[in-house]
Amino acid sequence: MANRRFDPVALEILWSRLITVANEQAAALQRTSFTPIVRDSGDLSAAVFDTRGRMLAQAVTGTPGHINSLATSMHHFLEAFPVTNLEPGDVLITNDPWKTSGQLNDLSVVTPVFNEDHVVGFFGNCCHAVDIGGRGLSADAREVYEEGIWVPMTKLYSAGEQNEELIRILTANVRAPREVLGDLHAQVAGNQVGSRRLLDYLDEFDIDDLDDLGDEITQRSEQATRRSISKVPDGTYSHVIQTDGLDEPITIACAVHVNGDEIVVDYTGSSEQVDRGMNVVLNYTTAYTSYALKCAISPEVPHNDGSFRPVTVTAPEGSILNPMHPAPVAARHIVGHFLPHAVLGALAPVIPERVVAEGSGNVWLTTVRGAGKQRFVTVFFASGGMGARPNKDGLSTTSFPSGIATTPVEVIEASSPLVFRRKEFRPDSGGPGRYRGGLGQVIEVGVRTDEPYVVSALSDRFRFQAAGYAGGGSGANGGFATSTGRVLNPKLSVRMAADETFTLELPGGGGFHKPAERSPEDVARDVAAGLVSEEAAKDVYDFEP
Amino acid sequence: MKEVREALAAMLSDGRGLLEESGVIETEVSVSADIRFQGQGDALRIHLGSSLVEDDPARHVAETFAAKYRSLYGSVPDNVEPELLTWRLRISGPRPQPDISAERNEGKPLRGKREVWFANHAFVDTTIYDRYRLATGYRFSGPAVVEERESTIVIGPEGSAVVTENGNLEVAVG
């Protein structure tokens, strides 16, 4: 039963204010960040937890891969550092991929909040570090050891004293220490601002700690999630999709078991783990699976520890969705971002009005680094098209499911030697349908250093297009080539000549319902806007202007 | 730093010229700077007061910035240099003090009575007021409805209200 201490009005105020506290935490983190990926793209998560490690509220920004896995990682932190062993001024850190969000680049930082001598809650955040050493962010590695420096669960600050040894080791092992350590400092600052706000909050409302409120919030969210699941007909719904892989395609086989007010998603039948960095740890598999279920089934339920409880995600040990150490994992999002397509594909026959067609899949994460005298590392994101919705066109160049914002060209050019020659919609890349898939884009990039450089554009959908639903057509494939006509491997690092540019062609999303059902007005508007060519309008939609 | 001093001096003389042309008496000069650590995207605005124009503002900037950064974010990152984006000089005359007290409403605010339903009370005989005829200082008790063009204010049976000097209605919920 819900704790009777909170009447509905008081609860609503406490709850909303707690979300605001988490938003302030994220705002401080982003304002003090040293990289566009955290500051502008929002490749992060930030949240507030009670003393038992239950996530109560998250900042309204960031990615499902970071937030859902941060919620799980908090329990690992508490296992390693029980509350009774913590002191005021402690800050904990790890990038253990299996316990957090599945790649070494993601650093998780947790700060206990003390009111005098006792812990009243925690702040945690997880940010993508622009570099973590190793082979640079690509699928190149054969083992996680090659992917960079591994920071086990340890104290970044101990009673207010910075762990200088750790800082020196990190400085010596990453390519961009100023940015990496600067962002780490921002992560600490975000938690610190959150802590200060939380103490004011507890004082204002005269609460000792967050645990009673935590019971109330998580129980309500759990019950609301259960009510939503109950409305989905019981049964087992299966779907199989494929992604490019490196040499061999990767299979994602998904069975969604709906039983009363609970859901189990099982990935038995998916590919074995691979010896390239595309393996997805179970934490990350769970994160994107829960996210997909939430989008389709309970989008209105607040996101916290309670809303995860009715969902269980399993994948066989040693499979690509639950790999065993020391499997390489750096580019896990290249497979992980496809999981919602598998889940929504399984649910499409039962709740067709609440799913979107397949989209471009993973957000394309391009890392460019200098290979001459001038050292630099820059990361930028770009998105293809989303799948069409049952009642609307798909969103163009929008990252689903990660929600990452594309880094603005001006920001990248101002903070790196990169120069963008071209960035434009790809006409005809959106899958046809009564509702058209979102468009991909073409981006051409070079450098201004007059020196060779290395590019890794982690991308997919070169072999398998985004499928349309209910008779909708597929979106266009992706492409990756150089100005000298080399066709590049999208999963590996590639060495480029100083004057060579590379071109990313991002895939389009699938359509929804048959193209013949699209209204001539919509086709005419797309042709006028240059989103659909006159030839395609004639061939696909039988449209004559 | 000579450049900064010269630039600020030039801004000061420009500003004084403008004020003089407009016939405004100078009352305040203040200097501020927008500053961040190299590599960051957001800057903090640091207020440096007025006496610094003739003095050397640049000398104080770094320490004032670090102090403000520490008070906002808890600590200052190591091994990064501050980066100054903008110097700003503001020269101003006396701030006008507009009279914002409400017009003196006169007349009879009472519009009559009608039955209004309140939770826990059912239907209650309720006084209806005209918002535009409520004089400042006027006090009344609920249950009441205050009607105005854009909205309606309901005051419960336990509530009471007073019209403040500015014409605001201050309601005690009871």
Average pLDDT over residues A414-440: 97
Residue B54 in any domain: the answer is yes
Cα–Cα distance, B81 to B92 (Å, whole number): 33
- A484-502 pLDDT, tens digit per residue, is 988 888 888 899 999 999 9
Query: Tokens 């829960």 belong to which residue?
Result: A290
Residue B104 in any domain: the answer is no
Q: Provide the sign of the torsion angle of the four alpha carbons B13, B19, B23, B29, taken in this order.
A: negative
CA nearest B43 in A: which residue? A31
- A282-313 pLDDT, tens digit per residue, is 999 999 999 999 999 999 999 899 999 999 99
Residues B19 and B74 both lie in one domain: yes
CA nearest A191 in B: which residue? B73
- Work out how many CB contacts closer than 8 A connect A with B: 52
Percentage of the residues of chain A whose pLDDT score is greater than 90: 87
Are the C-beta atoms of A66 and A45 separated by less than 8 Å?
Answer: yes
Residues B168 and B133 both lie in one domain: yes
Q: How far is CA A254 from CA A13, A28, A198, A285, A343, in A?
A: 40, 39, 41, 11, 7
Of B39, B74, B77, the CB nearest to A192: B74
Cα–Cα distance, A536 to A157 (Å, whole number): 60
User: b vs e for A95-107, b when ≥16 Cβ sit within 10 Å of the residue's Cβ?
Assistant: bbbbbbbbbbbbb
- B117-157 pLDDT, tens digit per residue, is 998 888 999 999 999 889 888 999 999 999 999 999 999 99
Residues B85 and B128 both lie in one domain: no
* Coil/strand/helix, residue A484: coil
Q: Is B40 on the interface with A (CB under 8 A)?
A: yes
Are the C-beta atoms of B127 and B145 separated by less than 8 Å?
Answer: yes
Residues B118 and B76 both lie in one domain: no
Cα–Cα distance, B161 to B140 (Å, whole number): 6
Residue B97 in any domain: the answer is no
Are the C-beta atoms of A314 and A361 separated by less than 8 Å?
Answer: no
pLDDT at residue B56 is higher than 70: no
Q: Which domain holds residue B144?
A: 110-172
DSSP string for A169-229 = HHHHH-S-HHHHHHHHHHHHHHHHHHHHHHHHHHHHHT-S-SHHHHHHHHHHHHHHHHHHH
Answer yes or no: do A178 and B39 touch at CB < 8 A.
yes
Helix (H) or strand (E) holding A445: strand A441-447
Residues B86 and B6 both lie in one domain: yes
Residues B75 and B41 both lie in one domain: yes
Residues B119 and B54 both lie in one domain: no
Answer yes or no: do B37 and A182 touch at CB < 8 A.
yes
Q: How confident is the model at residue A1 (pLDDT cuts 50, 70, 90)?
A: very low
Residues B88 and B14 both lie in one domain: yes
Residue B100 in any domain: the answer is no
Residue B103 in any domain: the answer is no
Which of B92, B118, B138 finishes a domain?
A: B92
Q: Which amino acid is at B115?
A: E
Residues B21 and B48 both lie in one domain: yes
For A48-57, A72-81, A307-316, A366-375, which range has the lowest pLDDT when averaged over its residues?
Answer: A366-375
Q: Is B80 on the interface with A (CB under 8 A)?
A: yes
Which of B92, B122, B147 finishes a domain?
A: B92
Query: Cβ–Cβ contacts within 10 Å for residue B126, how many?
Result: 20
Q: Is A178 on the interface with B (CB under 8 A)?
A: yes
Residues B18 and B79 both lie in one domain: yes
pTM above 0.80, yes or no: yes
Residues of chain A in contact with residue B37, where contact means CB-CB under 8 angstroms, are 34, 182
Residues of chain A in contact with residue B80, where contact means CB-CB under 8 angstroms, are 34, 178, 182
Q: Which amino acid is at A387?
A: G
Q: Is A34 on the interface with B (CB under 8 A)?
A: yes
Question: Could you give the number of structural domains in chain B?
Answer: 2
Answer yes or no: do B80 and A182 touch at CB < 8 A.
yes
| pLDDT at residue number B167 | 86
Are the C-beta atoms of B153 and B129 separated by less than 8 Å?
Answer: no
pLDDT at residue B110 is higher than 50: yes
Q: Which amino acid is at A160?
A: G
Cα–Cα distance, B123 to B117 (Å, whole number): 4
For A22-31, A101-110, B158-167, which range has the lowest pLDDT when averaged over its residues?
Answer: B158-167
Rounded to a whole number of angstroms, the distance from the CA of B153 to the nearest CA of chain A is 21
Answer yes or no: do A181 and B77 touch at CB < 8 A.
yes
Interface probe for A, chosen from B78, B83, B85 (most Cβ of A below 10 Å), is B78
Query: Tokens 């296992």 belong to which residue?
Result: A79
Rounded to a whole number of angstroms, the distance from the CA of A55 to the nearest CA of chain B is 23
pLDDT at residue A332 is higher than 90: yes
Answer yes or no: do A189 and B75 touch at CB < 8 A.
yes
- A185-235 pLDDT, tens digit per residue, is 999 999 999 999 999 999 999 999 999 999 999 999 999 999 999 999 999
Residues B74 and B136 both lie in one domain: no
pLDDT at residue A65 is higher than 90: no
Answer yes or no: do A34 and B72 touch at CB < 8 A.
no
Interface probe for B, chosen from A90, A168, A185, A410 (most Cβ of B below 10 Å), is A185
| pLDDT at residue number A30 | 96
Q: How confident is the model at residue B95 (pLDDT cuts 50, 70, 90)?
A: confident
Interface probe for B, chosen from A34, A44, A90, A187 (most Cβ of B below 10 Å), is A34
Answer yes or no: do B42 and A189 touch at CB < 8 A.
no
Looking at every residue in chain A, the average pLDDT score rounds to: 94
Which of B36, B59, B92 finishes a domain?
A: B92
Query: Cβ–Cβ contacts within 10 Å for residue A139, how many?
Result: 27
Cα–Cα distance, A148 to A407 (Å, whole number): 24
Q: How confident is the model at residue A3 (pLDDT cuts 50, 70, 90)?
A: very low
- A363-399 pLDDT, tens digit per residue, is 999 999 999 998 899 989 999 999 999 999 999 999 9
Answer yes or no: do A415 and B39 touch at CB < 8 A.
yes
Residues B87 and B114 both lie in one domain: no
